[in-house]
Amino acid sequence: MEFPYGKAPFWILVLAIITGAVMVMSQKFTSAGRPDLVFVVFAARHYEAYQKLIPQFEKTHHVKVQLQQVHQRPLQTRLQSALLADTEVPDMVEIMNPFMGAFMKGPLKDVGFVDLTDRIKAEHLDERMVASRFSIWSSRGRIFALPHDVHPAALAYRRDIVEELGIDVSKIETWDDFVRIAHEKIVKDLDGDGIPDRYALDLSMPGTSFFPLLLLQRGGRYFDEQGKLTMDSEITIDMMIWYIHQSRGKDRIAFPAGEGQPFYKALSDGVVLFNFVPDWRSKVFEMDAPDLKGKMALMPLPVWEKGGRRTSTWGGTGLAITEKSKHKELAWELAKFLYLNKQDFSERFTMLNIIPPLKEAWNLPAFQVPNEYYSGQKIGQLYAELAVETPPDYVGAYYEMVDGKTREVLVDGGVYFEKHGDEGLREYITQKLKLKADYIRRVMNRNVFLQQQENVDVNTPQGVTE
Amino acid sequence: MSNLAKFHAYKKKTPYIFLAPYFCLVCIFFIYPLISAFILSFEQTNGPKSRAFVGLSNYAFVLTDPDFHKAVKNTAVYAVFSIFLQLPISLGLAMLLNTAKDKTKGFFRLIIFSPNLVGQIFVGVIFSVLFVPRYGLFNRFVQSLLYWGLENRWLENPSLVLPAIIITALWMYVGFNMIYFLAGLQSVDKSLIEAARIDGANPWQVFLNVTLPAIKPVATFVVVMSTIGSFQLFELPFALLKGEFGPSGSGLFIVSYLYSMAFRAGDLGTAAAVGWILTLMIMVISLAQIKLSGTMEEGK
């Protein structure tokens, strides 16, 4: 019997049936071989560390855990899309601050992650860990992720050049001292071409975390504890003017060193001497600029006023369990195993220089070891001392938008300053910030789900705050 | 039923059966999403559990949003430069190659076209390094040429971001458009050019009165495609600006705005409204271009 439409359509049909059958079969096999827990991380070094630890957990609990690594931005967008579309999601994910905010747009019941507040309190983790770190994983008083780190920020500097210039860093107490010394001894045109060849600080205008880092240290933030927008506060205005003075115009002390190879070239050439370095970045320096071993050192951030905070924070990772997970308790056990494992803390610090938020771990011998790269300093001890001073930050659904808008004002303010100098700068920034804040408030007010939530949950129980 | 009647029945059904797979795919991946997006554009959503009808609020918000205005302005400026800078250069290069010897033609065609072989993301990443202050190759080149620009912050200065994107796009797309023009030029009737020359026309007159009218359909096609491409610009600035939209939104385009609404703000309803506004804009502009060029009338 002949196929009525000829041989070609017949074979196309046969191929379609075969491929369809293969797809169905492979899906069946995949779902049959699904592990008990799927855990997705974005950091390569976390992936390597967990790969070593997970077999022990699998053996103890007689389960199978699948570990996957996905870049942070696609991880956030895919997870967000999957939660919105109600499709399959992993059981556990490590999320980077401030992307958590994107999941907090709706009512608490729609967050998509398990509310860990009661579990955290039951284990007394709210007391055993640095309290301020829970703020970035909280929404409306409830905690949705376990903090992996504290990421206190210090200044890493070219010790060899700084000493050669006769600078005693122990005498740099405040940012005013820092700026004065930068003008006196650091910023110089060394080859006489009219362009400075050495700057004190790495300050890029857009796209970096330096501005929020300094703002947090100074006591400002984009949202307050109650989630109220505070981006147009006086502290933000003062901070912005300081930042513009240091990074723009002929009296600037900062250079935008960028990132990757251009950054390390600037660091190696001594174009910038001081850099903001939270614990995780100190290891990145070690790995990406090994030629500077023994030439670098760390110091706390200069304070804004005597007796003030000597640190800030940059970045953060939290572990969240998805609401759709069928093994929430097992996921919580794995979370505790990975995040409270004292045996691992030493290895993690050696591998990543990252200080855990669990305070009792800071006494481990690994944190007292001198680091050759940073001229023999005990950097674990330094970061642990700073960790307790780390400021809290409150990351709401609109954090990324606020951060973007604040940076817009920062850039516009910089352009204004280069054209008009200080005259009218404060008024310009105040007006611009107010405009942007009003815009964000307008966007926030459009969110019908948050409005409904606010009307219903007026007396929401509060979680852990500083 | 006789064999002849059976044959006629098959013959009648055959086109529909052959069209069925295509029709199914279009329905699943085009018509259904289009209708869904239209419905979504009147709603606010937060996952499958939370949907709320908001009427025309999403459209009203977008049309009064200063960020959207900025995105439209940036897109329009980019589109204008695409048409009035990129296309003349492409045409010029095509004309040069059209007169070149056969042996060298292929080589130069490949060289000029090759930037298009790499993806927009790759080009964006490469140019983000070229534009670095002090160490960037582009800054060094400008400095050696003009004794200025070593510390230019191409990707940090709001007034330089759009020029940086236009320069990058120029490098990438000139060769691509040149191929179309070259194909058009090669199909121009040589006897017409010869006749014009015999009649005393100079090269400019030949170009204006013979070559240009002959390649008009190709030129219209390239202009329309470039405009549509400009309005759909996303990956190149996104990679160049490292996933951001430039200082003060200087690298914000309509599709970037749509992306930020959908995946940064998580507002799928507003993003759908932007999608529909963009579709209408592209339709209107493309139709206007075709109408102005007169191609439609000629085709009748």
Q: Which of A368, A387, A406 is where one domain is finished? A: A387
Q: Give the model confidence (pLDDT) of B204-214 as tens digits.
A: 999 999 999 99
Q: Give the model confidence (pLDDT) of B37-93 as tens digits.
A: 999 999 998 766 678 899 999 999 999 999 999 999 999 999 999 889 999 999 999
Q: Are residues B136 and A397, on separate chains, in Cβ contact within 8 Å?
A: no
Q: Which residue of A has its CA nearest to B62?
A: A443
Beta strand A296-300 pairing with A199-202: unpaired
Q: With respect to residue A453, please indicate whether it lies within any of the assigned structural domains.
A: no
Contacts of A258 in chain B (CB under 8 A): 132-133
The letter for the amino acid at B230 is: S
A268 and A415 both lie in a single domain:
yes
Say yes or no: A289 contacts chain B, CB-CB below 8 A: no
Residue A374, both tokens: 């940073």
Contacts of A205 in chain B (CB under 8 A): 153, 156, 247
Say yes or no: A266 contacts chain B, CB-CB below 8 A: yes
B71: CB partners within 8 A, 6+ apart: B249, B252, B253, B254, B256, B257
Q: With respect to residue A214, please indicate whether it lies within any of the assigned structural domains.
A: yes
Question: d(Cα A224, Cα A417) in Å, to the nearest integer?
Answer: 29
Instruction: Tell me what pLDDT residue A270 has.
Output: 95
A124 and A185 both lie in a single domain:
no
Q: Which of B135, B242, B270 to mutate to test the interface with A (most CBs of A within 10 A)?
A: B135
Q: Are residues B44 and A85, on separate chains, in Cβ contact within 8 Å?
A: no
Q: Which of B52, B156, B263 sits opposite A77 (nearest CB)?
A: B263
Residue A257 contacts residue A266 (beta carbons within 8 Å): yes
Give the residue extent of every domain in chain B.
3-40, 66-299
Instruction: Tell me what pLDDT residue A463 has.
Output: 39
A142 and A93 both lie in a single domain:
yes
Question: d(Cα B81, Cα B145) in Å, to the nearest integer?
Answer: 24
A247 and A192 both lie in a single domain:
yes
Instruction: Tell me what pLDDT residue A462 has.
Output: 38
Distance from the Cα of B116 to chain A's closest Cα (Å) equals 25
Q: Which of A84, A409, A410 to mutate to test the interface with B (most CBs of B within 10 A)?
A: A84
For chain A, the domain total comes to: 2
The mean pLDDT value for B160-178 works out to 93
Residue B224, both tokens: 């329309």
CATH of the domain at A326: 3.40.190.10
A427 and A284 both lie in a single domain:
yes
Cis peptide before A98 (omega within 30 of 0): yes
Q: Is the ipTM of this complex over 0.85?
A: no
Contacts of A255 in chain B (CB under 8 A): 133
A360 and A413 both lie in a single domain:
no
Distance from the Cα of A358 to chain B's closest Cα (Å) equals 32
Q: Which of A447, A451, A456 to mutate to test the interface with B (most CBs of B within 10 A)?
A: A447
Distance from the Cα of A225 to chain B's closest Cα (Å) equals 21
Query: Which band of pLDDT confidence, cut at 50, 70 and 90, is reported for residue B248?
Result: confident
Instruction: Tell me what pLDDT residue B161 has.
Output: 94
Instruction: Tell me what pLDDT residue B295 has.
Output: 61
Q: Which of B10, B47, B244 sits opposite A86 (nearest CB)?
A: B47
* Residue among A88, A112, A91 nearest A39 (CA): A91
| CA dist list (Å): A420 to A252, A413, A417, A423, B241 | 15, 10, 5, 6, 28
A333 and A383 both lie in a single domain:
yes
A302 and A224 both lie in a single domain:
yes
Q: With respect to residue A228, please indicate whether it lies within any of the assigned structural domains.
A: yes
**CATH number attached to the domain at B66-299:** 1.10.3720.10
Please provide residue B262's backbone torsions phi and psi, each rounded to the nearest 5 degrees. Answer: -75, -45
In the three-class reduction of DSSP (H, G, I as helix; E, B as strand; rest coil), residue B247 is classed as: helix
A303 and A320 both lie in a single domain:
no
Q: Are residues A262 and B129, on separate chains, in Cβ contact within 8 Å?
A: yes
Tell me how far the alpha carbon of residue A166 is from its chain's centroid: 35
Low-confidence ranges of chain A (pLDDT < 70): 1, 29-33, 205-208, 452-466
Say yes or no: A1 contacts chain B, CB-CB below 8 A: no
Instruction: Tell me what pLDDT residue A458 has.
Output: 38
Q: With respect to residue A27, please indicate whether it lies within any of the assigned structural domains.
A: no
Instruction: Tell me what pLDDT residue B108 has.
Output: 84
Q: Give the model confidence (pLDDT) of A45-67 as tens digits.
A: 889 889 989 999 999 999 999 99
Q: Give the model confidence (pLDDT) of B121-143 as tens digits.
A: 999 999 998 998 888 899 999 98
Q: Is the pLDDT of residue B180 over 90?
A: yes
Contacts of A9 in chain B (CB under 8 A): 18
Q: With respect to residue A111, please indicate whether it lies within any of the assigned structural domains.
A: yes
Residues of B contacting chain A (CB within 8 angstroms)? 10, 14, 17-18, 44-50, 52, 54, 57, 61, 66, 129, 132-136, 150-151, 153, 156-159, 241-249, 263-268
Contacts of A195 in chain B (CB under 8 A): 150-151
Question: d(Cα A250, Cα A259) in Å, to the nearest integer?
Answer: 23
A164: containing domain: 153-312+398-445
Q: With respect to residue A281, please indicate whether it lies within any of the assigned structural domains.
A: yes
Q: Are residues A398 and B265, on separate chains, in Cβ contact within 8 Å?
A: yes
* Residue among A286, A258, A276, A273 nearest A315 (CA): A276
Q: With respect to residue A31, please indicate whether it lies within any of the assigned structural domains.
A: no
Highest mean pLDDT: which range of A324-328, A342-346, B109-113, B292-296: A324-328
For every residue of A43-87, DSSP letters joined together read -HHHHHHHHHHHHHHHHHHT--EEEEE--HHHHHHHHHHHHHHT-
A195 and A122 both lie in a single domain:
no
Strand partners, A33: none
Say yes or no: A401 contacts chain B, CB-CB below 8 A: yes
Taking the alpha carbons at both ends of chain A, their separation in whole angstroms is 81
A241 and A325 both lie in a single domain:
no
Q: Give the model confidence (pLDDT) of B253-277 as tens digits.
A: 999 999 988 887 778 899 999 999 9
Residue B8: enclosing H or E segment and its boundaries? helix B3-26
Q: Which residue of A has its CA nearest to B15?
A: A5
Give the pTM. Answer: 0.81
